[in-house]
Every structure is written in structure tokens, then in C-alpha cells.
Amino acid sequence: MIGSLQCVVLDCADARELALFYRGLIGGEVDRPDPRWALGDDWSTLHTADGPVLCFQRVADHRPPVWGDPARPQQSHLDVDVADLDAAHAEVLTLGATLLEDFGGARSWRIYADPAGHPFCLVRKAS
């Protein structure tokens, strides 16, 4: 095991609005303070009673997915907590992941694609 699931992130036009929608649907607490994320206009969270966290990420010029249309597929990714970002980096590359973006140590995460092209992030676990 390389890490543990931190959250599922959904792209959207309005992060808080979508967090409030999902709170109405499944319950939970919107934008609870959490050292893993900075909240704001571009990022909102929903901590559910059962434990999983949904995160909502504002994307400029967001175009919603259209079910069944490969030109407009689903828009979400997984964030995976890891204790050691460099060690996890080596392990996921061995598993077949592709590095999409590395911030040169300026951020606590890196972006990868799984072998089928789905994006995911390795995130240094908050201490």
C-alpha cells in the first residue's frame, strides 16, 4: 500500500454551491477547518458523517460533463495521502502511473495519471 484515500475531488463552476448541494443530498459539514486544505472561492469541502470527504474545485470556464459523450467525460480525481512524497512518487511510477505535474517542491502534492489516463494526486500527509 502506497497511501490512503484522502478525498474525491469534483470540478465545478462554483465550489461552495456544489458543496451545499451535496450536503443537502448526503449530509455532512461544509468547509470544516482541516489542515489538509485551504478553503476559499476555488475550493470547498464536505466532511460526511461516515468519514469520506468530498472536495469541490472551481475550474474557470467549467463545461459540465455530458453523460455518454466521450467529448465531455466525467471530471473528478482522487487525492491520496502519503507519508513520503518522494518515495510514493517512485512507487506509483513503478505501478505504471505517469507524472503530469510536479511543482518543484513548491507544493505538497504532485499530479499523475493512472495507466488509463485518469488524473490523481499524491498529497504529503499533514502532520
Residues 6+ apart with CB under 8 A from 65: 72, 73, 74, 75
Where in the chain are the domains?
4-61+74-124
Return the CATH fold of 4-61+74-124. Answer: 2,3-Dihydroxybiphenyl 1,2-Dioxygenase; domain 1 (3.10.180)
In the prediction, which pLDDT does 37 show?
87
CA angle (3, 43, 87) in 5-degree steps: 20
pTM: 0.79
Are 52 and 7 in contact by the 8 Å Cβ rule? The answer is: yes
Per-residue model confidence as pLDDT tens digits over 79-91: 999 999 999 999 9
Output the pLDDT for position 76.
85
**Local confidence band at 72 (pLDDT 50, 70, 90 cut-offs):** confident
